[in-house]
Amino acid sequence: MTTTTSPNTSAPIGVFDSGVGGLSVLRHIHAQLPHEHLMYFADSGFAPYGDKPEQVVAERSLAIAAFLVERGAKALVVACNTATIAAIRLLREHYPDLPIVGVEPGLKPAAAASRSGKIGVLATESTLGGEKFLQLREQVAQTSKVDFLLRGCTGLADQIELGELDSAATMAMLEGYVVPLLNQGADTLVLGCTHYPFVSAAIETIARRSGSKDVTLIDTGDAVARQLARLLAAAELANRSQAKAGIEGFTTGSASALSVAFSGLLGLQAPVTEAVLSPV
């Protein structure tokens, strides 16, 4: 078992995803914790994770975590639903002294927000088929008396990786995924992949076109950032500096593509380095 020594409070926080989707979580972290230095790792050269075996995603996640820890990460955020399901337990076993936050579809807040009791869940097929998700769905459905309508969104994360947030192809894909859920009475939609918040505006447009004006979209990025802040405070790792910290990116894909994503999706300029992972 690998352990880590306690890093200092000015050490960076490592955030990773299969691609640019985790930037939707990073923006919440950056907004809530502006004094924390952030390292973002996009495994774009190996994306998407949704069609990979769980063991492969777990091994990949361990390799990324090792990369970030070697660069001094004092905490890790697994900003990917698929990687959280596949690897969060293993990561916590490898780094028992490190605050680690994963993401999961926001079924609980969706149940609290829904008026009709029918909730659409947009996610990858691997997330929807994962044991952790199925247990969460069963638990929330029983305690809240709601119905979850599941919809696997094959190809949607790929469109977002390409930067096609409102192209004709993406809008057609979203209509095929979203409208049937609305027609079944869903008044709340869970964005069950960290890529999907970047097409929130497109989803809202489709909902209005279909006559559903009061649809609530659930994005768990804010909750992840709040949980990270709690864990850092509990471990006495929060950065007390008042200086605004920076962000740096790493990717197994194209550095220029991730730079464009930082700028286009977040309005931020960040240095990006292409990275090669070592086997775990």
Q: Which pLDDT tens digit goes with each residue over 141-167? A: 989 999 999 999 999 999 999 999 999
Residue 4 pLDDT > 60:
no
> For the residues 96-102, what does the mean pLDDT come to?
96
Q: Which residues are catalytic?
A: 80, 193
pTM recorded for the entire structure: 0.91
> For the residues 10-34, what does the mean pLDDT come to?
96
> For the residues 253-280, what does the mean pLDDT come to?
93
**pLDDT range class, residue 50, cuts 50, 70, 90:** confident
> For the residues 87-111, what does the mean pLDDT come to?
96
Is the previous residue joined to 279 through a cis bond, with omega within 30 degrees of 0? Answer: no
% helix, strand, coil for the chain, step of 5: 45, 15, 40
pLDDT at 132 (0 to 100): 84
- List domains and CATH numbers for the chain: 13-103+221-274 (3.40.50.1860), 107-218 (3.40.50.1860)
pLDDT at 7 (0 to 100): 54
pLDDT at 187 (0 to 100): 97
> For the residues 23-48, what does the mean pLDDT come to?
96
Annotated binding site for substrate: 17-18, 49-50, 81-82, 194-195
Annotated binding site: 17-18, 49-50, 81-82, 194-195
pLDDT at 188 (0 to 100): 97
- Both tokens of 277, joined, read 């992972």
- Both tokens of 175, joined, read 């209509």
Residue 2 pLDDT > 70:
no
Residue 6 pLDDT > 70:
no
> For the residues 228-243, what does the mean pLDDT come to?
92
Higher pLDDT, 15 or 124: 15
